[in-house]
A and B are shown apart, each in its own frame.
Chain A
C-alpha cells in the first residue's frame, strides 16, 4: 500500500509540476477534435437502424427495385358529404393535387398513384376499353356519379385507392430521396394549404414515407433544443452544491472536452450521428460531471480539515484519495457500455456502446490530468456549503438530510431490506407485463397532425401498412396459368381473413376485371378465366387501349413475378408476431409448389423481423452488461461479495425501469432498448462509491459497526446526493420535450439513476450491517472482544426496595441503592425532545389496538413540561395532555386534558399518576418520563444498567403482594449523545394485557418553542 501511495503521490506531483503542459495538451486535443467536427455526418433516417446486411431489408430492396415500391407519402382527400368524394369538386381536387405533387422536386412523377392516374377497364363491343377514371374531368354531379359507378365495378381499387364507402380517396406519392422526406412532407403541406378544396373536403397527409422521414428530425430537433438546457441545469446544481465559481466551471470544461473529443472521433471514423446519439450526449454530460463532483467534494472537505494546507498539497491529497474510486467507476461504466457492441445488431446502438465507452475514458483521462492541473493554478478558497457542514452548529440541508437518512436506515436495516425485496417482487411482476412493441407512428404526440392523419386514414381506408408476397414462377408468362392465378386468389382470400388485414390487391384483380369487361360487364364474369390463352389475350387487349405499365406494381413485364399486397390498418408488433408466422406457414404448406414460390416482403415484414430481433438481443445485452460490471467490480475489489454488493443497486434500477415500463405500458422497442445499458453505466457510479467508502469505514475498529458505517452519509452520501441531483435533473429535462420518446428516455433514465442512488445509500448499508461481509468489515475476532467487554460491565448488579423495609442485599463492589437512583434521576434527558410514540395494546387473547401519540417535552429551568397529542386512532385523535412537572417534590404537578369532542381544556388531578394512562399498562408518570419513580407499590425491583443509568427491567407488586406488572426497556440507544429508551414493554400479569411503547423520530435538536406548552396549544391541536 505504501509503495502504491508513493507512486500515486509522485504521479500527481508530476502533474502539478507540469501543469502548464498538461493544460495546454488538454486544450490542444479539444481543438483538434473541433476541427474534425464539420465532417460529422448525420443519419437520422429510420432505415439507419437496420443492419444493411439484414436479409429482410436486402430482400425488400430487391423487391423495391423490381416493383418500384418505396414507402409512400399518402395524401387523403376526405369528404363526409352525401356523395363522398364522388362530387366534381373533390374529383377536381384530386386531379389538381396529383398534378401539383408530381411536379415537386423529390417526387417520382411516374410513381404518383391516384384516381387521376388510374384507369378503368370496361367492356365494349370491341372488347375492352381502358380509360382513365378522371378523363375527362367530371364537371357535373352526374359525371362524378359515373366515376362512383366505375369504381363500384372495379374491386381492385376499393379500399386501396378509394374508401369502400366512398368517403375518401388517396394520392399515393413515392419520393426519390428518403433523406429529403421531411422537406417533401413540408412542401406537400404547403400545397394542401392552398389547394382548391370543396365545401366539405378535408385533406390529410400521412404514410410511412412521411412518418419515417419526419420522425428522425422530429426527435433530433427537440433533442438539440433540450441538450443545452440539461447542461444548464447541471451547472446550476453544481453552483448550488458548491457555491464557488471553480466548482461550476471546471466540471463544465471536462464536459466540453468529453463531448467534443467523442464527437470528433466519431467524425474521424465516419460514424454518422444517429438520432440516438442525442441520448449519448446527455449521458456524456452526466458521466463527466459525476467524477468532478466527487473530487471537488473531497477537495473542499479536506480544506476544512486542513485550512492551512497549500493548494498543491490539497490537490495531491485529494487526487490520491479519489483516483481509486474514480477509476473503479470509470472501468465499470466502460464495461457496461461496451457490452452493447457485441450484443446488438443495429449500427446506431453499436455505435452508442462504443462511443459511450470512449466518452467515459476521455472523461476519466481529463479528470485525472487536466482537472488537478487546472485546480493547482487557483488559490485555496473554501466552499460556503462545506464551511457550514463542518461546524457543529447549523448544517446545510443536504448534510442534515443525509444524516437523517442514515439514522433511519441504521435503525431499521431489516425493514429496508424487506422494502428492497418487496420492490424486487413488484418489479418482477412489472417485468412480466412488459410488452415488446414499436410503432413509429406512436413516437409522435397524439396532437401531431401526422399522427391524427395516420389514424384517420387507416380508419377510412383498408390500411396504409403493407404486407407483400412476391410470387415467382420459373418461366416467362408463368403467371398466365389459371391454376396459379387461382392460387393467388386463394392467398388473397386467406390474407383478408387475418385480423387487421382489410383488403388486398394483386394482378388477379386486374385479370378478373378484364375477364368481366370482355364478357359484357356481367358481374358473374368477375372470375379468373379457365384458359391460360385467354389470360394472355386479355393482357394483349389491355395493351391496345391502355398502358401496360399500369400493372407494373402488380406484375413484372415478363409476367413471371407478381406482387400480392395486403393492406393492414396497424403495424403493431403484437399483431405482426402472429400474422407473419401464420402467413409464412401458409406459403410453405399450401402455396409453394414446384415451379412457383412465394416469399414475404413489405414494410410489415421488415418491421416484424427488426423488432423480433430486439426481443432476442435485448435480454442478452442487459445480462452481459450486468455481468461485465460484476466481473469488473469483483476484480477491482478482489472479492466476490463486494462485487455482488456493487451490482445490487444497478440490478434494482434496471428492474425498476422494466417495472415502470410494464405498469405504465411503455413499450420495449428500438428506442427504449438502450435505456438499460445507460442506466447500468450511470448507476454503477453510486454503488462503487458507496461500497468503497463502506469498506473504509467498516474496517475501523473501536466503534460499533453501525456508528462507523453511519459516517457514509454526511461525506460520500452527500457527494452522491449532489451527483444524483446533477444527473437525474439533467435527464429529467428531457421530460419537458414534446416528443414522446424523449420524454420516456429522460423519465426512465432519471428514475433508474435515482433508484440506483436510493438503493446504494439504503439497501447497501443495510445489507452490510445485517450480513457483515468479511470483505467490508474488519476481521471478526477484533470486534468480538470489544463487545464482550461492554457486556460484562453492564450486567445487572443490584436490587432495590421501594417503600417497605426489606433486607438489603448489597454486593460489595456495587454502589448504594440510593446513589443508583440518584444517578438514574440525574440522568441527562436532554433540554427538549420531540418524539412520536406508538402504543400497541394487546389483550390476553392477542387482540391488538394501536395508538399513536406526538409528544413534546421541554425544561423550563427545573420545571419539566410535557405535551402529548393523540394522532391515531381516529376516534381519539386530537386528545391532548399538558403537564407541568415541578422539581419540588412537595408541589403537586398540574395537568390538563383536552377532549376534541368537548372543545374544552379541563383541569385534571395529577395525583392519579398511578392510574393507567388512557387504557395502556403504563401509568401517567411512566408515560411522561422514561424512568419510573415511586408509585405506591408494595414492592418494586429495578435493574439499572450502570452504563446508561436506565432501568432495563423492573417488576412491581401490588399491595397484596401479587406480582402486578413488569416493565422492560427493550431498546436503549444513544441519540444525540443522550441515552434514549426507544422501546418499552409493560406487561400486566393480572389482566394478561400488555402494552408496547415505541419511541420514533426522537429529536433532541429541534427547538420546541415555549409557547407549545400552553393551554391554547392543546386547543389548537398538534
Chain B
C-alpha cells in the first residue's frame, strides 16, 4: 500500500508542476487553498486548525474526451477530528487517504475521464454522482458514501466519498437515461471513537452496558468488485415545466450494520454490510417565486439498531419509506429562503428497535446577499421533531476580491445527548476561515 501512495505523491507532484507550467497538453490547473480554525465553545479547546489544498487538473484529451483529477491535501495542527491515522476499513484499497504522520493526509478525490460517444456521455473513474432534490438530507443521494469526520458541518460535496464507477448518460426518447455501475466497495467512514464527532447516539451505534468490554472487529466488507458491485439506473424527463425522475438502485447500504455477539469475555461487534433495493423518484417545478422540490424513496432491506435483549444480535430489519418535500422562496430581493420536511417511516417496525417508527426532521435556510454579493449572511437550522434536538449554523462570508474570501460562523448543537444532533453538543464551535482560489 505504501508503494501505491509513493506513486501517488510522485504523480501529484508531477501534475502540480505540469499544471503550474500550463504546458501545451491543454492541461489547466485550478483549485482552492482553505484555512479554517475552529474553537469549541464548551471548553475553549481548538477543534481544528486546518489547511486544505484542493487542486484540480483538467486535461483536454481530444475533441470529445477530457480528464479531470482532483486531489486534496489536508493538514490539521491539532488532529482532533480524526486522531492519529485511522484504519479506514470501510474504504476499499483503491479509495483510501494516505496519511502523512498524524496530522496530514493526502487523497485523490476524483479522477475520471469524460467522453462523448454518439449521443452518450460517459464518465469513467472516481467521481461523485448525486441523485435527489433534497439539500443535505439523503433519501436518494446514497450512491456515494459519506465521511463523517466532521458530521454534517462541511459542504456535502466535501463529505461525499467519490467512488470508482462507470456513469453513462444517454438520451432515451424525450428523456435521459443514466446507468451507474459501482465496483468500488467503499462505505461510510465513521470517525474514530475519540474523534471530536465520534458517534455515540443510540440511534446509530449500539450501546454496551458499563463495564462490559467491547471488541470491535474490522468491517466485513464485500470484496468482489463485479459480484458485489452497486448498480443503478435513473430516468429523467423535463415535461410541462416539471423536472421528473425515476430511480432504482441495487446497492450495499452505506452504513454498516453492527451485529453484536455476546461472549463470556464481553461483547464483540461485527460491522457488516447489507444489500438492498432502493426505488424512488423526484419531482421539481417553479411557480412564480416559489420552487417546489420533492423526493421519495423506498428501501427494501434496511437494518436498524435494536436492543440486544429483545432482538438477536442487536439488529432489527425493516424496509423504509422516506421522502423530502422542499419549498424555496426567492420573492424578496437578494434573499433566498428554503424549507424542507424530511420523514422516514419504517413499514415493518420490530419491537426492540431503538428508533421510532416515523422520524421527522425539518430544515430552514435563510440567505441574504449584500453589496453586490460581496457579503453573504446565512442562517440554517435542522431540527429533529421527535427527539427535539438539532443544529443551528450561522455564517457570514465576505469576498475580499476575486480570489480571496473569508468567513466567520458558529455551529451549535442542542438537545438530548442521545439524539442524532444532541450527541455532538460538546462539539459546538465557532469558526473562522479564509479561502484562496486559484
Contact = CB atoms under 8 A, between A and B. Distances in A.
Contacts of B371: 843, 991, 993
Interface of B: 30-32, 114, 119, 121, 123, 128-130, 133, 135, 155-157, 160, 169, 171, 176, 236, 238, 241, 243, 284-291, 293, 328, 330-331, 333-334, 369, 371-374, 399, 401-403, 405, 435, 437-438
A954 interface: no
A919 interface: yes
Contacts of B128: 903
Which of B155, B160, B176, B243 has the most chain A CB within a 10 Å cutoff?
B243
Contact of A1020 (B121, B130, B291): B121
A874 B30 contact: yes
A843 B372 contact: yes
Contact of B402 (A872, A900, A1014, A1020): A872
Given A843-B371, A872-B402, 17 more contacts: A851-B402, A873-B403, A874-B30, A875-B403, A875-B435, A877-B437, A902-B130, A902-B135, A903-B157, A906-B133, A907-B284, A908-B291, A911-B289, A912-B289, A912-B331, A919-B372, A920-B372
Contact of B286 (A849, A892, A920, A1016): A892
B437 A873 contact: yes
A390 interface: no
Interface string A888-926: 000010110000111110111111101110111100000
B312 to A, nearest CB: 40
Given A841-B372, A894-B241, A915-B333, A910 B402 contact: no
A874 B55 CA distance: 11
Nearest to A902: B157
Nearest to A918: B373
Nearest to A993: B372
Contact of A909 (B129, B330, B437): B330
Given A874-B31, A875-B435, A907-B285, A849 B402 contact: yes
Per CB-CB distance, the 4 closest pairs between chain A and chain B, nearest first, are A919-B373, A874-B437, A873-B402, A875-B437
B295 to A, nearest CB: 12
B233 to A, nearest CB: 15
B403 A874 contact: yes
Given A874-B438, A909-B330, A915-B330, A1015 B238 contact: yes
Interface of A: 841, 843, 847, 849-851, 872-875, 877, 892, 894-895, 900-904, 906-912, 914-916, 918-921, 991, 993, 1011, 1014-1016, 1020
Contacts of B169: 1016
30 contacts: A841-B372, A843-B374, A847-B401, A851-B402, A872-B402, A873-B403, A873-B437, A874-B403, A875-B402, A875-B405, A892-B241, A902-B130, A903-B128, A906-B284, A906-B291, A907-B291, A908-B328, A909-B286, A909-B288, A909-B290, A911-B289, A911-B330, A912-B330, A912-B333, A915-B330, A915-B333, A915-B334, A919-B374, A1014-B176, A1016-B169
Contacts of A915: 330, 333-334
A875 B32 contact: yes
**Interface of chain A: mostly helix, strand, loop or mixed:** mixed
Contact of B372 (A895, A906, A916, A1014): A916
Nearest to A916: B372
A851 B403 CA distance: 11
B130 to A, nearest CB: 5
Contact of B243 (A900, A907, A1016): A907
B286 A894 contact: yes
Given A903-B130, A918-B373, A1015-B238, A911 B288 contact: yes
Contacts of B369: 919
Contacts of A993: 371-372
A847 B374 CA distance: 11
Nearest to A910: B286
B157 to A, nearest CB: 5
A561 to B, nearest CB: 63
Given A873-B403, A875-B403, A916-B372, A907 B286 contact: yes
A671 B88 CA distance: 66
Nearest to B437: A874
Which of A851, A914, A919 has the most chain B CB within a 10 Å cutoff?
A919
B80 to A, nearest CB: 25
Contacts of A914: 333
Which of A849, A875, A877, A1011 has the most chain B CB within a 10 Å cutoff?
A875
Contacts of B437: 873-875, 877
A491 B401 CA distance: 71
A919 B399 CA distance: 11
A894 B240 CA distance: 10
Contacts of B31: 874
A902 B435 CA distance: 17
B114 A908 contact: no
A909 B291 contact: yes
Contacts of B372: 841, 843, 916, 919-921, 991, 993
A900 B437 CA distance: 14
Contacts of B32: 874-875
Contacts of A909: 286-291, 328, 330
A850 B402 contact: yes
Contacts of A920: 372
Contacts of B405: 875
A1016 B284 contact: no
Contacts of B236: 1015
A716 B153 CA distance: 64
Nearest to B404: A875
A849 B374 CA distance: 10
A994 to B, nearest CB: 10
A1011 B437 CA distance: 31
Contact of A908 (B238, B286, B287): B286
